[in-house]
Structure 1
């Protein structure tokens, strides 16, 4: 008995020592704490692909939270739906030395709806557990199993979970039966280990001691900087449907099948449509009438119920309830056009995501649906979820990318419109008239196109009180008093808006003896420059290509003449171009400025050159004229 007690005591001590050794924060390598708010100590993900429609994930992770900034990682948040179940959850909290502080019970785990604010029909749920500690560092550990009944996609993997989080060890393993086919896409140089275990094949990807990457300005993500793998079944079975992802054509065939007989309209709606278009002379005019009808009579509501996450609500139903998600509204618009004798195609697209990879068809590369109308002389893409977007304008988050057109013959990759810098314009003309006492009337007229229209469109939709507040918050003119303002979209069919704003100011001239100094770029100055980053890790790009054209004319106060005017400035680089010109004539100074920027993706090593280019613009925008008194 004494021996048994001693052995039990040793087992307890060994278990305690193992926890201390495993999760003792002091033992984290120094290179993993640099720039890190949390460290993944160990992550193990095992996916057993059992059949075309079933699989199981066993997942375990331990994360050391180094500071309060890392508290967002101190949670288990695992989604599931009616085609999967999560069970066997275990969770533990450890202190800085790795000593167990708390072991959580199943009753501590919340099971709640994952319903979105914009979704009224959604069957996604989440198992949620938040870990709390007031002492840092601390470590969380949890594990669970998840069964799937229907597989459209498989777990992906990345060497680090996000910015400012490092990884001590992470392993991802997939096991499959010999009759099943899958495919995977990996980052460059990531090693894939493949082994046989009985009659099954295992694929494994792993990383050790991967340091954190800081969030960097204008970063376009981590994918170009860390190892990753994406995995997809070749054939699939989901909610009583089957298909395969071997090509985009076959992927599109599955979507097409889901939409069979979905665009039949009620008789009353057909009659209404015919009445609306009876006087229209061209297909384009009919499309404009019907798109306007869609915007005025429907609203966007997300629907994510099983196959409803991929199959639209019937057009007949949308006609009755006047709402739907992107799939339903696009399909409804397709039905309206079909009634008008106009052919159209549904488009599967990744809104705000990279374009579809031509060589790797899979679920997860798209999150949205729009509509394409290929007329005889042109092709128009329609964003069917917005009540305000002009017809044919799909926004810069949908532009210039590969998308999947759904045809009767299956899927076909096409490319959405490209909005170049001159399309995404801001054109502004400002007149500034100085009075004898040095005060100035400032009249600003601006026009915004395409992406810059999209950035400013909100001003058309808010109340005057909010418009005034926003103008005052963003105004950078010294001592400016807002007198009047007006926003207008003259043609609702075009992504163009105009803006007229009037100010008064008595602080535009800086006096110095018998001279006055005038900053010539009053309206559209670059006010700051990002700091340089040595050893930058991530690729970068501006949000979209654009061109700003500014012209400011100053009528000088009586008794002043121009003593000094800067020389013209021209800056050229692979990132864009900049020109500033200064002309004086008849007591008037005219300043013109043009800045053009490209949204091309640049590698990390180019970033400091980009900063230098912006610094030159910053300096050029500060140029002053010197005025002298003549009386």
Structure 2
């Protein structure tokens, strides 16, 4: 699904350094809506880049299309004294039509500039003429990155009085003023001043959820000769349903194939799985976003014939196949970026993806038709817990996708370490990952053997290691890994003693900095469970001299237990860490640092074996 609206901004990259890298001196957006299908949009940005960390702010990028045309542009660069050191003309803009999609109306105009000195002030001013696609107006995004403050920014929208313009503000301490304009128009304006720079902190909410933004949209719209209302999510859903209506027709031959495939199956779940597997084998993801095709799916028969489609087309095709075998399913729009939709402000631009909801008798399946290689019904990290709009003939209904419980995001390691008197070791690892921890290892399935071995050596703390055997397999939302590793120097010799690591996994367990000047609350998006069962065999002629103490932690962030037991020549180590997801008061940050440091210390502990 295409993200709507004209995007003309200076691109930025986040910096972890707490030093202001730029100041937005002025950010102005002026929109004049002449008719429901025609608007002129004027933009101006004046940005002082303080140092090299803000260099990417010098890049100008403007998204255009055959319906959004750049009609004017000028740029200027001045140094700290105000001297003009560079003027930029429209003829200097570069055009790129590169896109991951097969066909798309959009193209980008850009100017890539590297400041020769700092500080430097860059001014860009441009105008876009938009026709036939005013499903929403440009948003107001005066702040775009960490470490960037804003002195003054304003937004002004002039529209015919009868248009019924709606708006919504997020993270913005401002009001939208409504005044009468000339020629029977109404003006909507908002202004902000002296916005402080946002600080990037460990375990904070994503930047996109913290930035101030104002959204504007007409209630009733005309979009590529399609008419609809955004008065509510219900109305939005009615418009979306009108775009898919009649596009679920399949050929007689395909209908016969579907019945041959499913008529002998006993349950609806079995039928869904059979058809989902068929989708995987017969289609691939390819997007064609021309005109209203940015919002409307290709007919199911076209996707079937061509063997490809985008998220809209593939979801609609899957819906059509399920309908043929008597299983209802709902076309569902969702955002992979924004977990929460504005409940009282329906808009197309809040969504960028389509999935399929299949309500079965004892379960609701969420199908990612764009990537049917995922296990059927697996809710991946880009949509888990996100709001979505279920589309039906009755309209749109706000729903929320499930989130896997922290304890189900599992990594289980069963490890056997056969240590020799010389300090080398044979290590056998069997690892099982599930749900979100499974998802993080999916790339392993697509790697060749050489790259898999490189990744494994990064996961396992084994000096001078050689992987002798490695096997990786997938079973639903689970990955199982089995490896035999030989380390020539697993333990360190010191006279008659061997210093032996007790946990060869969780390499590089990170601990955040212990700064006390925390600004925002703590946010951990994913919780997980790590369980390690480790058996270390003591070599002949040695005995255990020094061991770490058992430890237990139980607080708001985690429960952790470490135990070590001795049985003859075998040392048994068990780690169990349940890291919890959620939002926590910023005052607890020192406690988070403390518990993570304690866990890291245990993972890096050693036992001391003494020669008898």
TM-score by length of 1: 0.89
Question: What is residue 69 of structure 2 aligned with on the other side?
Answer: 85
User: How is 1:163-562 mapped onto 2 (pairs within 5 angstroms)?
Assistant: 163-187=146-170, 190-198=173-181, 199-222=184-207, 225=210, 227-489=212-474, 491=475, 494-525=476-507, 527-562=509-544
Q: Deviations over 1:66-96 (max 9, x none)?
A: 2333221113211122322221212222223
In the superposition, relative to structure 1, how do residues 436 and 99 fare at CA in structure 2: closer, same or farther (>3 Å)?
Answer: closer
Deviates more, 1:446-455 or 1:172-181: 172-181
- Given that 1:82 and 1:306 are in contact with CA atoms closer than 8 Å, whether structure 2 keeps it comes out as no
Deviation at 1:188, TM superposition (A): 5.4
SS in 1 for 2:407: coil
Q: Which of 123, 133, 139 is the equivalent residue of 1:156? A: 139
Deviation at 1:437, TM superposition (A): 3.9
Deviation at 1:500, TM superposition (A): 0.3
| Structure having the higher Rg | 1
Alignment of 1:621 with 2:606, yes or no, is no
User: How is 1:556-575 mapped onto 2 (pairs within 5 angstroms)?
Assistant: 556-575=538-557
- Given that 2:528 and 2:578 are in contact with CA atoms closer than 8 Å, whether structure 1 keeps it comes out as yes
2 CA distance for matches of 1:429 and 1:585? 17
1 CA distance for matches of 2:280 and 2:74? 49
Q: Deviations over 1:462-520 (max 9, x none)?
A: 2212212322344322232211100012x3xx211100011112323233343332221
Unmatched runs of 5 consecutive residues or more in structure 1: 1-32
Question: What is residue 60 of structure 2 aligned with on the other side?
Answer: 76
1 CA distance for matches of 2:565 and 2:407? 25
Deviation at 1:405, TM superposition (A): 0.8
2 CA distance for matches of 1:233 and 1:539? 35
SS in 2 for 1:317: helix
Deviates more, 1:394-403 or 1:600-609: 600-609
SS in 2 for 1:131: coil
Question: What is residue 11 of structure 2 aligned with on the other side?
Answer: none
Deviation at 1:339, TM superposition (A): 1.6
- Given that 1:224 and 1:539 are in contact with CA atoms closer than 8 Å, whether structure 2 keeps it comes out as no
1 CA distance for matches of 2:163 and 2:576? 58
Question: What is residue 598 of structure 1 aligned with on the other side?
Answer: 580
2 CA distance for matches of 1:35 and 1:346? 45
SS in 2 for 1:249: helix
Deviates more, 1:447-456 or 1:358-367: 358-367
SS in 2 for 1:369: strand
In the superposition, relative to structure 1, how do residues 416 and 432 fare at CA in structure 2: closer, same or farther (>3 Å)?
Answer: same
C-alpha root-mean-square deviation of aligned residues, in Å?
2.2
Deviation at 1:264, TM superposition (A): 0.8
Alignment of 1:112 with 2:96, yes or no, is yes
- Given that 2:459 and 2:506 are in contact with CA atoms closer than 8 Å, whether structure 1 keeps it comes out as no
SS in 2 for 1:104: strand
Deviates more, 1:500-509 or 1:208-217: 208-217
- Given that 1:44 and 1:170 are in contact with CA atoms closer than 8 Å, whether structure 2 keeps it comes out as yes
1 CA distance for matches of 2:95 and 2:142? 29
1 CA distance for matches of 2:545 and 2:18? 54
- Given that 1:346 and 1:406 are in contact with CA atoms closer than 8 Å, whether structure 2 keeps it comes out as yes
Question: What is residue 11 of structure 1 aligned with on the other side?
Answer: none
Question: What is residue 4 of structure 1 aligned with on the other side?
Answer: none
In the superposition, relative to structure 1, how do residues 160 and 176 fare at CA in structure 2: closer, same or farther (>3 Å)?
Answer: same
Question: What is residue 107 of structure 2 aligned with on the other side?
Answer: 125
Deviation at 1:331, TM superposition (A): 0.6
| Aligned positions, number | 593
In the superposition, relative to structure 1, how do residues 573 and 293 fare at CA in structure 2: closer, same or farther (>3 Å)?
Answer: same
Alignment of 1:35 with 2:26, yes or no, is no
Q: Deviations over 1:372-408 (max 9, x none)?
A: 1111222111111114201111312211122111112
Alignment of 1:67 with 2:81, yes or no, is no
- Given that 2:276 and 2:372 are in contact with CA atoms closer than 8 Å, whether structure 1 keeps it comes out as no
SS in 2 for 1:610: helix
Deviation at 1:258, TM superposition (A): 0.2
- Given that 1:190 and 1:228 are in contact with CA atoms closer than 8 Å, whether structure 2 keeps it comes out as no
SS in 2 for 1:507: coil
Deviation at 1:328, TM superposition (A): 0.4
- Given that 1:224 and 1:538 are in contact with CA atoms closer than 8 Å, whether structure 2 keeps it comes out as no
1 CA distance for matches of 2:330 and 2:568? 60
In the superposition, relative to structure 1, how do residues 152 and 604 fare at CA in structure 2: closer, same or farther (>3 Å)?
Answer: farther
Question: What is residue 143 of structure 1 aligned with on the other side?
Answer: 125
- Given that 1:582 and 1:589 are in contact with CA atoms closer than 8 Å, whether structure 2 keeps it comes out as yes
Deviation at 1:620, TM superposition (A): 2.4
2 CA distance for matches of 1:611 and 1:538? 15
In the superposition, relative to structure 1, how do residues 568 and 151 fare at CA in structure 2: closer, same or farther (>3 Å)?
Answer: same
- Given that 1:122 and 1:305 are in contact with CA atoms closer than 8 Å, whether structure 2 keeps it comes out as yes
- Given that 2:27 and 2:44 are in contact with CA atoms closer than 8 Å, whether structure 1 keeps it comes out as yes
In the superposition, relative to structure 1, how do residues 565 and 111 fare at CA in structure 2: closer, same or farther (>3 Å)?
Answer: closer
Deviates more, 1:440-449 or 1:515-524: 515-524
Deviates more, 1:358-367 or 1:188-197: 188-197
Alignment of 1:610 with 2:592, yes or no, is yes
